[in-house]
A and B are shown apart, each in its own frame.
Chain A
Amino acid sequence: MTQEALTSSGWPSALILAGLAAVCTAMVAVTHSATAPRIAANEQAYLEESLQPVLQGIDYDGKLSESTMIITLPHKLPGNEDVPVYRVYAGGEPVAALFVVRAMDGFSGPIRLLVGVDSTGVVTGVRVLEHRETPGLGDLIDSAKSDWILQFNGKSLVSPDAPLWAIKRDGGDFDQFTGASITPRAVINAIKETLAYFGDNREYVFAEVDSK
């Protein structure tokens, strides 16, 4: 094929592709505008719903996701990414803060945790948001699989004392699972570090400023 033939046969192809791209883009755009409000509402509802379990027995005003702040790196919280904090208020007073942290030393990769702490530094609840631990062993940290994660409710760094924040095999106060000690160790350490951070930075966490 000569150069000229190539160019002349190239144009229709280009036009066809451009036309098709326009049609496909329009299709995606229409679907997006039809679904976007529902998707946003679903995400909001899911967030509220997933924050709920770590707020056992706490009364609060308004929506949980309304007063969010991001603690940017570097920070002393577990994990190597920015930490979103949901601050919970009742009658204008801060009553709790919910941290989304990552325990980096899980058995098969990081474990994402939602840790709720009330204004006095007592755990209001912990849930595993995301993990890749072994099914049947490490995945017992998941509240859907066992009640293990519930034992942290009401605990703080003074009850039990900080050195007792470990599994029983390591001389601590918390249960381990048969056949899996790395996973509970990682979770316990992450909670402990979160409590320590909260103790040191309570004012910053509840600061009114819109921290970025």
Chain B
Amino acid sequence: MTDAKGVIETFRSGIWDDNPGLVQLLGLCPLLAVTTSFVNGLGLGLATLLVLTCSNVLISSTRRFIRAEIRIPMYVLIISSVVTCIEMIFLAWFPALGRSLGIFIPLIVTNCAIVARAEVFASRNTVGRSFLDGIAMGSGFALLLAAIGALRELVGHGSIMSRMDMLFGGEPMNGLKLLDDGFLLAILPPGAFISLGLFVAAKNALDRHGHQTNRPISSNTLR
């Protein structure tokens, strides 16, 4: 199943058809809380992508030990250990971003998109497929976070890609200043809900106009 077609199908599912944020609406707490700028969204998206991929691989490779009655403690143990490691890695190599994201890196533990992939996919599939699934679903989540972050930053601050140095090093960057003043609402919590709503609506509208109207709902989605 890990042939080219399967890979494309996995990515299509993770990034578009079953996007964890847009379709499954999982992990909304970090999604809404940190997307005040493009770099924050991308940073937390990448952290989630890493956690999801590692936890999928670990859970998949231990799946023959998984027993129904202890599977939740096993997921919790694996996911929380992975998150702890990722947090230390961020603080060691991306300290500014780690400080900016603050509590939301440890809070990845509570992102239900991760435990959902563990339960629905990783515990029933091979390591290779779980690895791909983690990358695909994680990318879908990261792209959405970055996109919402970019929209809110653009509308709220009138700039885009400010402080990219937190991710890539170098001198502090102010990013591209496109407008002098921003529309404050976009940065405030309601702006997060409105932005997510716009993205969900845009996806649904695109799907409706596409040729996918009669496409059956994918069976590996947790609803």
Binding site for B on A (CB under 8 A): 12-13, 16-17, 19-21, 24-25, 27-28, 31-32, 34-36, 38-39, 42-43, 46, 135-136
Contacts and interface: CB of A to CB of B under 8 A. Distances in A.
Contacts of A25: 81
A13 B88 contact: no
21 contacts: A16-B74, A17-B73, A17-B74, A19-B65, A20-B65, A20-B78, A21-B77, A24-B77, A24-B78, A31-B84, A35-B91, A35-B92, A38-B92, A38-B93, A39-B92, A42-B91, A42-B92, A46-B95, A135-B184, A135-B187, A136-B184
Nearest to A42: B95
Contacts of B62: 20
Q: Which 5 A-B pairs have the closest CB atoms?
A: A24-B81, A35-B92, A38-B92, A31-B85, A42-B95
Interface in B61-81: 62, 65, 67, 69-70, 73-74, 77-78, 80-81
B188 interface: yes
B99 interface: yes
B163 to A, nearest CB: 10
A31 B88 contact: yes
A28 B84 contact: yes
B45 to A, nearest CB: 21
B194 interface: no
Nearest to A45: B95
B89 interface: yes
Given A31-B85, A36-B88, 16 more contacts: A16-B65, A17-B73, A17-B77, A20-B65, A20-B77, A25-B81, A27-B81, A27-B85, A28-B81, A32-B88, A35-B92, A38-B93, A39-B92, A39-B95, A46-B99, A135-B184
Contacts of A35: 88-89, 91-92
A1 to B, nearest CB: 11
Nearest to B84: A28
Contacts of B92: 34-35, 38-39, 42
B102 to A, nearest CB: 10
Nearest to A136: B184
A39 B84 CA distance: 14
A160 to B, nearest CB: 33
A20 to B, nearest CB: 6
Interface in B192-220: none
Contacts of B82: 27
B79 to A, nearest CB: 10
Given A16-B67, A20-B65, A135-B184, A39 B77 contact: no
A31 B67 CA distance: 28
A28 B85 contact: yes
A13 B69 contact: yes
A39 B85 contact: no
Nearest to B65: A16
Nearest to B79: A24
A57 to B, nearest CB: 23
A32 B92 CA distance: 10
A13 to B, nearest CB: 5
Contacts of B80: 24
Interface string B179-196: 000001001100000000
Contacts of B188: 135
A197 B124 CA distance: 64
Interface centre among B69, B88, B93, B99 (most CB of A within 10 A): B88
A31 B86 CA distance: 9
Contacts of B93: 38
Contacts of B67: 12-13, 16
Contacts of B88: 31-32, 35-36, 39
